[in-house]
Structure 1
């Protein structure tokens, strides 16, 4: 694999002190156990309905506070982990979408942690977590049609050299880098605040890597811990 260096802007330290993340880069092999994703998703939904992780409430509340710190309204645009959890508690389960998407959503639910999955081949340059200036471009869908919009000034976003890939930190992913099980180059980011034990973050990353290896035997996976330091 070539050099891969996701980065975190120093400005993030003032918004989310103690932020850390697990980055997983995957060169995917052939998908041979596609049913694993839906199975893991069903198990994770049951786990959430039975109470979930011990740190879940504190971690998701910490994310809500971080969202408020950069001007977002978590009641309307919650972090991705909170949005998934609310759906499960309301509906009892989530529908299967795609084997890989189901798998990383299962990890998000089980560990009460935002998890993003990206088609790395669609990236222009390296992923960067930054504070937007408001001029960046974000590709999305509106009323079934492709559309472009810009983040708000001061909003925390993931981006590459072409534009924003995920708005409001981990709230909504762009179309260009959307991931599916058919993509050979994958990147996953598991995002944690200090309310979640570091050991739990590391366990979440290890479990995601293990399940990917089970689903696509022979995949090459690189894991690294990203911190503000």
Structure 2
């Protein structure tokens, strides 16, 4: 699975500085939010970058480049930073949301049991299948998709219902997305923190990761 994840050349042409750290976790024992995950969210909120941080502005610029209006459909990390206190969802989602806010980068989480084929980041043709919660992507829009259709619209704006991580999720894929000025070392550090949180939730969870550029 992880070796087949790819970024389409049209996306690379749009943002040559893009990189994604893909992390697969196998054998998770997810559950409802608890005091531990609330602590992660509270600590992340205190360490969150300002809204005018260059790392956040880079995503707004990327959105404008493919025709999106980031003041209306915000990059995921931008939207999260504006939501204080951070929402409690479940242990695994709380973990990656906390890492996203603390490090100032978008992170997506996918339930592999509902994924079909490999994840790929493409510019939409406009006819990709998409669920009702997402609506149809526009031509040229940057989307994550699998063999069944769009899994996340406008790069990291909104995820489909089908692949969301729930308390029943056992195997998951995480997509940690980077644009300059976030360094590759900072991206790796975010991945290491996420791995530590997942291992805290489920000791013995199996982790595989790969940097895709």
TM-score range for the pair, normalised by the shorter chain length? over 0.9
Work out the CA distance in 2 between the residues paired with 1:16 and 1:225. Answer: 16
Residue 79, structure 1, aligned to residue 37, structure 2: no
| Partner in structure 2 of residue 145 of structure 1 | none
- Indicate if the aligned counterparts of 1:38 and 1:99 stay in contact, CA closer than 8 A: no
Written as runs of structure 1 = structure 2, the 5 A alignment for 1:159-198 is 159-198=145-184
The CA deviation string for residues 165-195 of structure 1, in whole angstroms up to 9 with x for no partner, is 0000000000000112421110000000021
**1:46, 1:194 → 2: CA distance?**
23
Partner residue in 2 for 1:37: 37
Of 9-18 and 106-115, deviating more is: 9-18
1:133 aligns with 2:132: no
Q: Pick from 30, 44, 58: which aligns with 1:62?
A: 58
Unaligned 5+ runs, structure 2? none
Say if 1:107 and 1:208, in contact at 8 Å, map to a contact too: yes
In structure 2, C-alpha distance between the alignment counterparts of 1:3 and 1:169, rounded to whole Å:
19
Give runs of ≥4 in structure 1 deviating > 2 Å.
28-38
1:117 corresponds to which residue?
Answer: 109
Q: Equivalences for 1:40-51 in 2 at 5 Å?
A: 40-48=40-48
Task: Show the counterpart of 1:23.
Answer: 22
Aligned mates of 2:205, 2:150 — CA distance in 1? 28
What residue is the counterpart of 1:218 in the other structure? Answer: 204
Would the aligned equivalents of 1:33 and 1:215 in 2 still touch at CA under 8 Å? no
Asked whether the equivalents of residues 120 and 177 of structure 1 are also in contact (C-alpha less than 8 Å), the reply is yes
How much does 1:164 deviate?
0.1
Q: Are residues 132 and 31 of structure 1, via their aligned partners in 2, closer, same or farther at CA, if it must alter by over 3 Å?
A: closer
Which has the larger displacement, 2-11 or 113-122?
Answer: 2-11
May I ask how many residue pairs the two structures share in their alignment? Answer: 212
How far did residue 39 of structure 1 move?
Answer: 1.8
The question of whether the paired residues in 2 share the 8 Å contact of 1:13 and 1:19 is answered with yes
Q: Where does residue 108 of structure 1 map in the other structure?
A: 100
Decide whether aligned partners of structure 1 residues 61 and 81 sit closer, same or farther in structure 2, where only a CA change above 3 A counts: same
Structure 2 length as normaliser, TM-score?
Answer: 0.93
1:98 pairs with 2:90: yes
3-state SS in 1 of match to 2:174: strand
Any conservation in 2 of the 1:80–1:170 contact (CA below 8 Å)?
Answer: yes
SS of 1:138 mapped into structure 2: coil
CA distance in 2, matches of 1:184, 1:56: 37
Gapped regions of structure 1 (runs ≥ 5)? 142-147
| Residues 56 and 112 in structure 1, CA contact (< 8 A), matched pair in contact too | no
Q: 1:152 to 1:216 in 2, by over 3 A?
A: same
